[in-house]
C-alpha cells in the first residue's frame, strides 16, 4: 500500500461518514479529523450537500405504518447511549479536539496509561461499540518505535499531536493513516516531540519478526 492508496481509503472513509454508515468509534475519529482538517471539513460539507440533492431528486417510496415509531425509538436509544458515554468519563482534556473529550480519561494522569514497551503507553477508549475490535490512544516518546506488526482487520489511525513515519508515509496532526488487513508496518515517532494517536482496529494486532512471533506465542 502506498500513500496514494491511503488517500483513497481516507476519501472512502469520509464518504461512509457522510452516509452515516460508520460505527461510533470511527464516527468520532472522523469528526475529530474534520475538526483538525479544514480541507476534509469542506469535503464533508460537499458530500452532505450532494446527498441532500440526490434525496430531493429521488422517487418517494412507501413506508410501513410503524416506520415513524421505529425511527423515533432508535433516536431515543442513540441519545440514551450518548448520555451514558458522556457521563462515564470526567476529565479536563481541553487540549484534545472536542469530539474526543467525552470519551478519554485525563491525559495528564499516569494511572490512566498502561506501559506497553520502551517509550510506549496506551489508554483504552470505551465507545460501547461491538462493531469495532478496539479503540485506543497510544502515546509514543520522541524517536521511539512501535514494534513491527500486522493487522487482522483494518486499522484507522488519527494523529492528535506530534507525528510519526512508517513504510507508507509521514503523518502529522490531523492526518489519518489506514492499514488494511495483513499490512505490516513499524511506526516511528518524530524526534521533535511526543506523539499521541487514536487507533481504531477491527481485529487484533500481530507482532512480526522473530521476537514478535515469539511474543505472540507467549501471550496466547
Q: Tens of pLDDT along the chain (220 residues)? A: 555 566 789 989 998 998 889 999 999 999 999 999 988 888 888 876 765 444 455 555 555 666 556 545 554 554 454 443 444 444 457 778 989 988 998 888 999 999 999 999 999 999 876 667 789 999 999 999 999 999 889 999 999 999 999 999 999 999 999 999 999 999 999 999 999 999 999 988 888 865 554 444 434 4
Domain 1-220 in CATH: superfamily?
A: Jelly Rolls (2.60.120.10)
Count how many residues are written for the chain: 220
φ and ψ at 215, to 5 degrees?
-65, -40
Q: What is the pLDDT of residue 127?
A: 87
The SS3 call for residue 90 is: coil
* Torsional class of 23: left (φ above 0), alpha (ψ -120 to 50), beta (otherwise): beta
DSSP string covering 53-72: HHHHHSPP----TTHHHHHH
Q: What are phi and psi of 117, to 5 degrees?
A: 165, 180
pLDDT score at 63:
52
Residue of 98, 140, 106 whose CA lies nearest to 122: 140
Let me know how many helices (H) and strands (E) the chain has, helices first: 6, 11
Between the alpha carbon of residue 91 and those of residues 85, 104, 110, the distances in Å are: 13, 8, 13
DSSP 8-state symbol, 145? B
| Every domain of the chain and the residues it spans | 1-220
Place of cell 493513516: 177
Residues 6 or more apart from 161 whose CB is under 8 A from it?
95, 173, 193, 194, 195, 196
pTM over 0.95: no
DSSP for 17-38, written as a single string = HHTT-S-HHHHHHHHHHHHH-H
pLDDT of residue 190: 98
Q: What is the CA 54 to chain-centroid distance, rounded?
A: 29
Identify whether the C-beta of residue 63 lies closer than 8 Å to the C-beta of residue 56: no
* Residue-level pLDDT at 114: 95
Helix (H) or strand (E) holding 159: strand 155-161
Amino acid at each position: 500500500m502506498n500513500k496514494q492508496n491511503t488517500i483513497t481509503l481516507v476519501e472512502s472513509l469520509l464518504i461512509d461518514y457522510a452516509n452515516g454508515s460508520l460505527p461510533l468509534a470511527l464516527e468520532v475519529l472522523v469528526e475529530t479529523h474534520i475538526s483538525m482538517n479544514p480541507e476534509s471539513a469542506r469535503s464533508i460539507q460537499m458530500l452532505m450537500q450532494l446527498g441532500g440533492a440526490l434525496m430531493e431528486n429521488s422517487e418517494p417510496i412507501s413506508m410501513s405504518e410503524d416506520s415513524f415509531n421505529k425511527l423515533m425509538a432508535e433516536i431515543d436509544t442513540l441519545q440514551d447511549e450518548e448520555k451514558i458515554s458522556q457521563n462515564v468519563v470526567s476529565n479536563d482534556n481541553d487540549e484534545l479536539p472536542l469530539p474526543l473529550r467525552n470519551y478519554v480519561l485525563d491525559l495528564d494522569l499516569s494511572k490512566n496509561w498502561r506501559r506497553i514497551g520502551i517509550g510506549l503507553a496506551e489508554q483504552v477508549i470505551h465507545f460501547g461499540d461491538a462493531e469495532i475490535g478496539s479503540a485506543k490512544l497510544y502515546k509514543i516518546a520522541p524517536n521511539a518505535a512501535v514494534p513491527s506488526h500486522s493487522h487482522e482487520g483494518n486499522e484507522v489511525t488519527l494523529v492528535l499531536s506530534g507525528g510519526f513515519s512508517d513504510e507508507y508515509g509521514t503523518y502529522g496532526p490531523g492526518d489519518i493513516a489506514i492499514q488494511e488487513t495483513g499490512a505490516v508496518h513499524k511506526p516511528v515517532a518524530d524526534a521533535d516531540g511526543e506523539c499521541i494517536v487514536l487507533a481504531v482496529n477491527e481485529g487484533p494486532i500481530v507482532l512480526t519478526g522473530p521476537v514478535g512471533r515469539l511474543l505472540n506465542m507467549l501471550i496466547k
